[in-house]
A = this chain, B = another copy of it.
Amino acid sequence: MQLHELELSALEQRIHAAQADYEAFRARGLKRDMTRGKPSVEQLDLAAAMLGPLESHVTASGEDARNYGGLQGLPEVRALVSGMLGAPPEQIAVGENSSLALMHDCIAWAMLHGVPGSARPWSRDIVAAEAGSADAPIFLCPSPGYDRHFALCEGFGIRMIPVPLTGDGPDMNVVEDLVKDPAVKGMWCVPRYANPSGETYAPRTIQRLAAMQTAAPDFRLFWDNAYAVHHLVADPEPLVDILPACAEAGNPDRAFVFASTSKITLAGAGLSFFAGSERNLQWYLTCAGRRTIGPDKLNQLRHLQFLRDEAGLRHHMDGHRAILAPKFAAVDEALRKRFDDLTVAHWTRPEGGYFISLDARPGTARRIVALAGELGIALTPAGATWPYGSDPKDSNLRLAPSFPPLEEVRSASEGIALCILLATLEAERDSRVNR
């Protein structure tokens, strides 16, 4: 049933019932955290062997991994993640424990030096914009999206334009139109199990991103493949590799590819990766080579010792899936159960990644987060999934079920469903009163 079909008296009745349930729930005094895509203790335990002894500190080529050097990362590690990144090992570089850091550095260097193809450093356009002689750089932001991407842009003074998502990735008609503006220098893309919508970019979307005409000659896709192998289903749909797609379309330098093992091995002690065309990789290594003599190669060896090869990596991810899939199912079940006879919200049933994206009645997201807070359930702040923290409809919620134990996910989801219901019913009543 649709909400507007409810008689006012029935609506009032449901509000009373929901309020009673809400008070009863509050009395339970729970404390739950559904804010971030953080692996659970059980998931981290899957990589317990990584805390064991390192069998050898000698690399495949006979180097002592304890000493300085090895800026690009060990070739054997780059081979291990070659499939995941969709790039040959020689076009990959290994970083420290955070791919966000690599994205930060690429933008910082673009601002200060420009990227291959830039007429001048991007920060010069900000200066020119203040003088009225150019436009400040813009990034396209498929939204809802990842708050830390948006915080990077905001921190660097890069303007953001939200782009709608379609379920097959960003709306390419909109994107192709926007990139006609030479101020559009970049675009955030989480092509697989996007944060938080969960969608995977369709082959046609990727082909259009690779081939589209951009006015800026130094436009870059910031291709954050954070969930490349993070499936919740046994037979995931394939993802088209962006680097060959760009090369085939005649735009070989278009994409900077990022990934990490943060949600594969250990969230705080993984490896990060950059991949790009030979020209982009050379640029990356030149900039990175001023910053450091080389990354932590012992942690690279730890990863090799533990994951061994691509098959080992896939097998390890099966372990994550076994832990995560029931949690996602628990959220879905709690929502379906609470909204069994009334269409109150729309939410995703992702085949991978770390989030469920829920669109509530416009104008209720902040209220829902506040209500949940009263129940002891911490949610990602409403609006966080939009550039500048501002959801124009105040409707999107990002649910992150990975961290709490399954039973806690279940009870938290019941509480969240209740908050959504209550906020929605109250909003419906208010709208009738104000009509």
By a beta-carbon cutoff of 8 Å, the part of chain A in contact with chain B is: 36, 38-39, 41, 44, 47, 51-54, 57, 64-70, 96-98, 100-101, 104-105, 108, 111-113, 121, 123-124, 127, 148, 151-152, 155-156, 262, 266-269, 287, 290-299
Contact = CB atoms under 8 A, between A and B. Distances in A.
A136 to B, nearest CB: 13
A54 B196 CA distance: 35
Nearest to A272: B292
A38 B68 CA distance: 7
A299 B269 contact: yes
A389 to B, nearest CB: 14
A19 B57 CA distance: 43
A84 to B, nearest CB: 20
B51 A100 contact: no
Contacts of A52: 53
Contact of A64 (B44, B66, B68): B44
A291 B97 contact: no
B67 A268 contact: yes
Please give me the 4 A-B residue pairs with the lowest Cβ-Cβ distance, nearest first.
A104-B291, A98-B292, A269-B298, A51-B54
A290 B38 contact: no
A267 B69 CA distance: 9
A109 to B, nearest CB: 8
A411 B147 CA distance: 59
Given A68-B268, A152-B290, 19 more contacts: A36-B68, A44-B67, A51-B53, A51-B298, A66-B267, A68-B267, A97-B292, A98-B293, A100-B291, A101-B291, A104-B290, A108-B108, A113-B155, A124-B127, A148-B290, A155-B287, A269-B299, A296-B299, A299-B299
